[in-house]
């Protein structure tokens, strides 16, 4: 590091063209490079005009600004060598104006041949085509912006060279700008500026926009920087870049190449210096003792006095020979800090002491001394002062010193290295940082053990890995039966153990996360008890969809579970999975489990027959009608259908019981199978694990291990390859009707292979079975049944808005159905002669009289009433549902301030409802700092939010200062409420205002965004200017 002061003058003139300016160089360069960077404005962001800039005639160096004391030196001399021997003032001298104008005139002579060639070139310039990389859309955007930039500047290549020279230019420049993206400030802070022309190409590589967590992009590697610099140098050598039209571009590329190369050299020197420090086994006295005697400066100008006013005041208040900590007064910026120390002046005689540890941690101390003492006496006293505070100064030892100690004693004692490092720190007082974050965590635990003086603080649990003891086998079986029966009956939320009279500790099993969660669990328990009561006349079915599987392109199979291994792709053939996942089609396995209902609640509900169906998502998407059509085929395949059907599903959109589309599908199944009673219950949010079929998914993974999924080619392959989404494939099928059949046939060999593998799985005594996806004809047959209720119904009637115009359907829902938030049931009339829809009950009359709708949970003290207390005896409602009670009580927004876009920006994040999936804004009266944001992130991981809930209901325990006390959410929201308008004003991601999805959005001027599924909803007008989606 060296400090120089530069200026630029014209030969024969005493007036500078560019006045004296001081700057700090991190690495050594030659004087000619210093001239170029000084003229380009790298240090002061003030470049000189192009008509003034030319090759300098000479360089002069001196120790002050007196011109007669300057010495003429070679332009290839090293800056550090020159400053060390001659001084830090450097003067660059350029030729007189007459010589420069003559040179420019000769350079600007117009050549007729050149004019003709340039005109011909201008008429035939071309640019590479637009880039569209699916894996790196942001990088494609960068390349396209470079093309737009070239087009704006009327630059390009001939049609013959555009594919070679043009692509090379765009790729080389984009690779360099992509690599240093998000690091422009880092380069500028070290004096390596990005050219003004290229600064616009930033902000593409934003880690916050990545869906998956990436490696930290803030670390630049010296090898990568030099490689990009070398590529840019080679690019600047191209002949077309030497033309006048490309002059500014070539200058910018050369400047960027210089910055990247020199910053790479700086990193190399820093890395070398750090490694040398790590290898050092001792420190010399010069490493620690650095004294500087500051003489009295009587006349200090106003600017300098103001800069050091606080230092002067502290020195005056402190006694002589009493140090003050000078670091408290230093600026945060490193360059300003260096200038602040080197330019320090005081009105008193003082000594500046710098303590430097092995890791380069500088501590500065300043104290006032007597004016009458000699410098040798002052230094002797200074050493005594430093010796007095030596115990308080931190000590930094190198890695080699610590490793030498660990190796020497570790071999002989066999002690773990973590304890040896702790011993070394305590014996030597070493305060240097750990080598890695993992080592820091281990050292912190060891330090805690040593401070507590408890050798049993850490217990090795591996001593318990002998397996489950057989003597407790019967006890564990009874425990499992108890848990299966009681897992849904715990009422409170106690988290602490209880000590009974015999001093035994009784651990409480807390299975309900909240009162709302408990309410939903009790509903599901009622369904199981109902199934046991009528198990001879009932079919209990559990439904769910497994995760989507990508289908590889022809000859490029994609592994369903693992990548990069030999996988089975079709019968009697093996191929290696491709290392990419460019796919267009996907498969969804739907799983249905026909449960063998046990005789008591202590029995297991995880036995039965499992059916798996593979559906192509473009033309066989999961929908309520398709699910019911497939369930109908499964039930008829098993034999005569029993008169009672009980369904248990998750809370996905294709099983949401409050949706009209789901209710109509259940009604059509009830009519088609002539059921006496149908009851569907869905799981609480975040409790899909309670769905019995969810446990089957891990077994299915065994069949999907090592399977490569790919489709076959279709006759319209070229048209299909242009489609990048399922929506575009469906749109193409409207133009090419045969495409649907082609696509389904292309995945048929794959589904047959998967079905063969599935049939080899087994649950208890039953093998898994496969089933074909429901056809369009199966769905239409089932839909026709619902027309018996209301002949005016159409497949497009999916929302409650359509229900308002269907009087017959509304009457049927009122008389035959019971609709709850987590439950939907249909029951035949007791007197079928008065109903034109219901058939005669299939159950025996004495059994049918016992059929009643499932009761809603009703509290009784600290518990909910049992199934036997309520079933058929009490008419219940949802009045005790916690979320409904809360919405009735809180009519206002419930915030201590008025929620707005600004209060939402103060938090900067949103929370998702676990029931409806909509995003809700979090509000705060003041902007959160980094610490509060980190605390909020931790708190949100433990919260299960539903619309209408408020954070005030969360028991924070003893932590009254929890960040949640400052965060609020609107209390007057429910799952039917639209997305708050403040969500869009705060600048969050664009989503549908009705359902909150981010897919298939329609954006119209003057209206909030909505998706294609919500086109039937009323459009919400946006006041003021039209909505503009945020990138």
**pLDDT(797) > 60:** yes
Dist CA 425 CA 397 (whole Å): 9
**pLDDT(148) > 80:** yes
Q: Kindly indicate the confidence band of residue 388, based on its pLDDT and cuts at 50, 70 and 90.
A: confident
For 848, other C-beta atoms within 10 Å of its C-beta total 19
Quote the pLDDT of residue 273.
Answer: 77
The contacts of residue 998 (CB under 8 Å, 6+ apart) are 989, 990, 991, 992
Rounded average pLDDT over 767-786: 91
Residue corresponding to tokens 């998914």: 697
Quote the pLDDT of residue 477.
Answer: 74
Tens digits of per-residue pLDDT, 851-877?
988 888 888 777 778 888 888 888 888
Integer CA distances (angstroms), 749 to 569, 571, 575, 585, in order? 9, 9, 15, 14
**pLDDT(83) > 90:** no
Quote the pLDDT of residue 421.
Answer: 82
Tokens representing 500 are 């009974």
Dist CA 879 CA 316 (whole Å): 75
Dist CA 355 CA 364 (whole Å): 6
Sheet holding 362-368, edge to edge: 290-294, 350-356, 362-368, 324-325
Question: Residue 426 half-sphere exposure, CB side, CA atoms within 13 Å?
Answer: 11
**pLDDT(792) > 80:** yes
Dist CA 902 CA 646 (whole Å): 49
Dist CA 509 CA 347 (whole Å): 74
Residue corresponding to tokens 């190369």: 261
Query: CB-based burial of residue 80 (10 Å sphere; 0-12 exposed, 13-18 middle, 19+ buried)?
Result: middle
Rounded average pLDDT over 301-327: 86
Range with lowest mean pLDDT among 316-325, 463-472, 634-643: 463-472
Quote the pLDDT of residue 942.
Answer: 63
Residue corresponding to tokens 């949802």: 878
**pLDDT(679) > 90:** yes
Of the chain, the percentage scoring pLDDT greater than 90 comes to 13
**pLDDT(185) > 60:** yes
The contacts of residue 651 (CB under 8 Å, 6+ apart) are 682, 683, 684, 685, 688, 915
Q: Kindly indicate the confidence band of residue 959, based on its pLDDT and cuts at 50, 70 and 90.
A: very low
Given a contact cutoff of 8 angstroms between Cβ atoms, the answer to whether 612 and 758 are in contact is yes
DSSP labels for 281-331? S---HHHH-EEEEEPB-----HHHHHHTHHHHHHHHHSPTT--EEGGGGS-
When the pLDDT of each residue in the chain is averaged and rounded to a whole number, the result is 79
Dist CA 796 CA 954 (whole Å): 42
Quote the pLDDT of residue 631.
Answer: 93
Quote the pLDDT of residue 494.
Answer: 37
Quote the pLDDT of residue 181.
Answer: 87
Ordered alpha helix ranges (H), 561-644: 624-637
- Strand 608-616 and strand 769-770: the pairing is parallel
**pLDDT(114) > 60:** no
pTM to 2 decimal places: 0.46
Q: Kindly indicate the confidence band of residue 676, based on its pLDDT and cuts at 50, 70 and 90.
A: very high
What crossing angle do the helices spanning 697-704 and 739-758 adopt, rounded to 10°?
100
Tens digits of per-residue pLDDT, 598-633?
888 878 888 899 999 999 988 988 888 999 999 999
Which of 165-169, 440-444, 724-728 has maximum average pLDDT?
165-169
The contacts of residue 418 (CB under 8 Å, 6+ apart) are 442, 443, 445, 446
Dist CA 239 CA 178 (whole Å): 25
Given a contact cutoff of 8 angstroms between Cβ atoms, the answer to whether 26 and 1 are in contact is yes
Q: Kindly indicate the confidence band of residue 246, based on its pLDDT and cuts at 50, 70 and 90.
A: confident
Closest C-alpha among 870, 868, 862, 947 to residue 911 = 947
Range with lowest mean pLDDT among 414-418, 846-850, 885-889: 885-889
Rounded average pLDDT over 818-832: 85
At 1002 the three-state DSSP class reads strand
For 46, other C-beta atoms within 10 Å of its C-beta total 12
Which of 82-96, 324-338, 746-760, 1011-1025 has maximum average pLDDT?
746-760
**pLDDT(512) > 80:** no
Which of 227-231, 375-379, 508-512 has maximum average pLDDT?
227-231
Quote the pLDDT of residue 704.
Answer: 85
pLDDT higher for 101 or 311? Answer: 311
Integer CA distances (angstroms), 412 to 56, 404, 405, 420, in order? 67, 13, 11, 12
What crossing angle do the helices spanning 137-152 and 167-180 adopt, rounded to 10°?
120
Rounded average pLDDT over 753-764: 90
**pLDDT(680) > 90:** yes
**pLDDT(471) > 70:** no
Q: Kindly indicate the confidence band of residue 500, based on its pLDDT and cuts at 50, 70 and 90.
A: very low
Range with lowest mean pLDDT among 123-137, 428-442, 620-634, 954-968: 954-968
**Beta-bridge mates of residue 968:** 923
Quote the pLDDT of residue 408.
Answer: 74
The contacts of residue 86 (CB under 8 Å, 6+ apart) are 61, 62, 63, 71, 73
**pLDDT(597) > 80:** yes
**pLDDT(287) > 50:** no
Residue corresponding to tokens 């009561």: 533
pLDDT higher for 133 or 988? Answer: 988
DSSP labels for 8-31? EEETT--SEEEEEEEEEESS--BH
Range with lowest mean pLDDT among 25-34, 64-73, 711-720, 937-946: 937-946
Quote the pLDDT of residue 686.
Answer: 61
- What sign results for the dihedral spanned by CA atoms 156, 161, 163, 165? negative
Q: Kindly indicate the confidence band of residue 961, based on its pLDDT and cuts at 50, 70 and 90.
A: low
Dist CA 662 CA 670 (whole Å): 12
**pLDDT(194) > 70:** yes
For 430, which DSSP code?
A: B
Which of 121-130, 710-719, 722-731 has maximum average pLDDT?
710-719
Closest C-alpha among 635, 539, 541 to residue 593 = 541
Dist CA 363 CA 742 (whole Å): 75
Rounded average pLDDT over 728-744: 90
Ordered alpha helix ranges (H), 834-915: 845-848, 867-870, 882-889, 901-907
Count of positions (residues) in the chain: 1031
Given a contact cutoff of 8 angstroms between Cβ atoms, the answer to whether 966 and 924 are in contact is yes
Dist CA 779 CA 767 (whole Å): 27
At 757 the three-state DSSP class reads helix
**pLDDT(564) > 50:** no
Which of 235-249, 390-404, 431-445 has maximum average pLDDT?
235-249
**pLDDT(212) > 70:** no
Rounded average pLDDT over 452-469: 66
DSSP labels for 677-707? EEEEEEPPTT-GGGSGGGGGHHHHHHHHTTB
Quote the pLDDT of residue 36.
Answer: 82
Q: Kindly indicate the confidence band of residue 506, based on its pLDDT and cuts at 50, 70 and 90.
A: very low
Tens digits of per-residue pLDDT, 3-53?
889 888 888 777 788 888 888 887 778 888 888 888 877 777 777 765 555
Question: Residue 76 half-sphere exposure, CB side, CA atoms within 13 Å?
Answer: 0
**pLDDT(109) > 60:** no
**pLDDT(97) > 70:** no
**pLDDT(554) > 90:** no
Q: Kindly indicate the confidence band of residue 507, based on its pLDDT and cuts at 50, 70 and 90.
A: very low
């Amino acid at each position: 590091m060296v400090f120089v002061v530069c200026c630029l003058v014209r030969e024969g003139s005493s007036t500078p063209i560019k006045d004296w300016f001081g700057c700090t160089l991190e690495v050594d360069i030659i004087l000619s490079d210093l001239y170029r960077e000084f003229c380009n404005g790298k240090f002061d962001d003030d470049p000189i005009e192009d008509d003034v800039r030319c090759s300098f005639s000479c360089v002069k160096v001196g120790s002050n600004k007196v011109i007669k004391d300057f010495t003429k030196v070679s332009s290839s001399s090293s800056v550090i060598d020159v400053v060390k021997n001659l001084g830090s003032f450097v003067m660059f001298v350029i030729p007189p104006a007459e010589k420069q104008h003559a040179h420019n005139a000769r350079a600007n002579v117009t050549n007729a041949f050149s004019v003709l060639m340039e005109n011909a070139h201008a008429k035939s310039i071309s640019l590479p085509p637009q880039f569209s990389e699916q894996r790196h859309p942001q990088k494609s955007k960068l390349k396209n912006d470079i093309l737009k930039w070239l087009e704006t500047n009327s630059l390009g290549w001939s049609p013959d060279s555009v594919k070679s020279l043009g692509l090379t230019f765009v790729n080389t420049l984009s690779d360099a700008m992509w690599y240093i993206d998000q690091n422009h400030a880092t380069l500028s802070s070290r004096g390596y500026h990005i050219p003004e022309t290229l600064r616009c190409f930033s902000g593409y590589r934003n880690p916050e926009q990545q869906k998956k967590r990436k490696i930290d992009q803030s670390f630049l590697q010296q090898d990568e920087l030099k490689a990009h610099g070398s590529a840019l140098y080679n690019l600047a050598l191209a002949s077309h870049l030497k033309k006048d039209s490309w002059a500014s571009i070539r200058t910018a590329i050369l400047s960027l190449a210089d910055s990247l190369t020199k910053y790479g050299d700086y990193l190399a020197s820093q890395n070398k210096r750090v490694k040398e420090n790590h290898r050092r086994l001792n420190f010399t006295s010069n490493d620690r003792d650095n004294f500087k005697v500051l003489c009295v400066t009587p006349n200090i100008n106003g600017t300098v006095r103001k800069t050091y006013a606080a230092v002067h005041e502290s020195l005056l208040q402190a006694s002589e020979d009493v140090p003050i900590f000078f670091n408290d007064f230093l600026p945060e910026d490193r360059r300003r800090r260096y200038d602040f120390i080197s330019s320090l002046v005081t009105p008193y005689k003082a000594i500046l002491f710098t303590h430097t540890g092995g890791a380069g941690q500088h501590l500065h101390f300043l104290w006032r001394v007597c004016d009458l003492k000699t410098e040798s006496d002052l230094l002797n006293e200074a050493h005594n002062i430093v010796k007095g505070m030596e115990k308080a100064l931190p000590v930094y030892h190198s890695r080699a010193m610590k490793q030498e100690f660990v190796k020497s004693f570790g071999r002989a004692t066999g002690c773990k290295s973590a304890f040896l490092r702790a011993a070394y720190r305590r014996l030597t007082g070493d305060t240097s940082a750990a080598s890695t974050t993992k080592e820091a965590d281990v050292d912190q635990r060891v330090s805690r053990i040593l401070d507590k003086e408890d050798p049993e603080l850490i217990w090795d649990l591996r001593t318990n890995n002998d397996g489950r003891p057989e003597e407790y086998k019967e006890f564990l079986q009874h425990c499992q039966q108890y848990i299966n029966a009681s897992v849904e009956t715990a009422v409170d939320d106690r988290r602490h153990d209880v000590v009974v009279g015999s001093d035994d500790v009784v651990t409480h099993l807390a299975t309900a996360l909240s009162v709302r969660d408990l309410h939903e669990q009790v509903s599901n328990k009622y369904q199981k008890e109902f199934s046991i009561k009528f198990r001879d006349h009932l079919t209990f079915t559990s439904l769910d969809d497994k995760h989507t599987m990508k289908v590889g392109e022809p000859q490029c199979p994609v592994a369903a579970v693992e990548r990069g291994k030999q996988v089975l792709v079709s019968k009697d053939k093996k191929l290696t999975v491709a290392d990419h996942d460019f796919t267009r089609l996907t498969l969804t396995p739907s799983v249905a489990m026909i449960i063998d209902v046990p005789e008591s609640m202590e029995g297991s509900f995880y036995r039965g027959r499992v059916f798996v169906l593979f559906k192509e998502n473009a033309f066989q998407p999961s929908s309520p009608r398709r699910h019911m059509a497939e369930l109908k085929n499964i039930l008829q395949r098993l034999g005569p259908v029993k008169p009672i059907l009980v369904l248990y599903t998750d809370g996905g959109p294709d099983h949401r019981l409050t949706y009209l589309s789901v209710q109509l599908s259940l009604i059509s199944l009830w009519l088609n199978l002539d059921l006496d009673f149908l009851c569907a219950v869905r799981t609480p949010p975040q409790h899909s694990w309670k769905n019995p079929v969810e446990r089957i998914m891990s077994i299915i993974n065994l069949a999907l291990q090592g399977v490569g999924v790919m489709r076959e080619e279709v006759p319209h392959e070229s048209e299909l390859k242009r489609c990048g989404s399922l929506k575009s494939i469906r749109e193409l099928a409207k133009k090419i009707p045969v495409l649907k059949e082609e696509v389904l046939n292309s995945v048929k060999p794959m589904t047959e292979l998967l079905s063969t593998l599935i049939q080899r799985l087994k649950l208890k005594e039953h093998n898994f079975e496969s089933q074909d996806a429901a056809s369009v004809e199966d769905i239409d047959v089932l839909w026709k049944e619902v027309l018996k209720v209301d002949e005016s119904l159409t497949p497009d009637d999916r929302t409650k808005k359509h229900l308002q115009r269907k009087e017959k359907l509304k009457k049927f829902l009122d008389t035959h159905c019971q609709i709850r938030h987590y439950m939907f049931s249909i029951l035949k009339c007791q007197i079928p002669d008065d109903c034109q829809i219901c058939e005669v009950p299939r159950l025996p009359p004495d059994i049918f009289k016992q059929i009643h709708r499932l009761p809603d949970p009703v509290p009784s003290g600290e518990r909910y009433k049992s199934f036997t207390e309520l079933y058929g005896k009490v008419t219940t409602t949802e009045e005790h549902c916690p979320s409904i009670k809360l919405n009735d009580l809180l009519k206002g927004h419930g915030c201590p301030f008025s929620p707005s876009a600004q209060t939402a920006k103060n938090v900067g994040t949103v929370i998702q409802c676990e029931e409806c999936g909509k995003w809700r804004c979090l509000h705060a009266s003041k902007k959160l700092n980094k610490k509060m944001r980190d605390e909020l992130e931790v708190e949100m991981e433990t919260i299960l939010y539903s619309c209408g809930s408020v954070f005030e209901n969360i028991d924070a325990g003893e932590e009254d200062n929890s960040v949640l006390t400052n965060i609020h959410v609107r209390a007057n929201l429910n799952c039917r409420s639209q997305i708050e308008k403040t969500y869009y004003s705060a600048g969050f991601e664009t989503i549908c205002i009705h359902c909150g999805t981010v897919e298939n959005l329609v954006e119209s001027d003057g209206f909030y965004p909505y998706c294609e599924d919500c086109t039937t909803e009323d459009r919400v007008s946006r006041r003021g200017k039209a909505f503009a989606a945020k990138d």
